[in-house]
Amino acid sequence: GAVVSQHPSRVICKSGTSVKIECRSLDFQATTMFWYRQFPKKSLMLMATSNEGSKATYEQGVEKDKFLINHASLTLSTLTVTSAHPEDSSFYICSARDMADKNIQYFGAGTRLSVL
């Protein structure tokens, strides 16, 4: 099956610093990738839709200046958490939509962000 690689798997940073998370589709091309956030004991919440070559679309309540998304190629999207604060600590998961099978999203393993 299709593989999505997410890096890093875990990151610990100081408050005020920025953190970049990468999401790569390894064996397929994805014009669309999605970023989700998962709080403890809660479901995944869609944060934004990342479109190759254009601006990301953010869900209501998600700060676009806090969570910068770049989708520069058909296999890579990045999420940068800028000026991170402890309340940004969470599990971030990306998915990629397979262009050959447009209704299927394949998920990365997630990134555990801890902001001290």
Is 33 in contact with 99 (CB distance < 8 Å)?
no
- DSSP state at residue 84: -
By beta-carbon proximity to another protein, the closer residue of 12 and 109 is 109
Least Cβ distance, residue 111 to another protein (angstroms): 11
- 84 counts as binding another protein under rule CB under 8 A: no
- Give the number of C-alpha atoms closer than 13 A to the C-alpha of residue 8, restricted to the C-beta side: 9
| CA 82/CA 24 separation, integer angstroms | 20
Using CB under 8 A as the criterion, what x/- string covers residues 3-42 for binding another protein? -x---------------------------x-x-x-----x
Does residue number 106 form part of the binding site for another protein (CB under 8 A)? yes
Q: Could you give the dihedral angle defined by the CA atoms of residues 60, 23, 90 and 70, in that order, rounded to the nearest 10 degrees?
A: -40
Residue ranges binding another protein (CB under 8 A): 1, 4, 32, 34, 36, 42-46, 49, 59, 93, 95, 97, 102-110
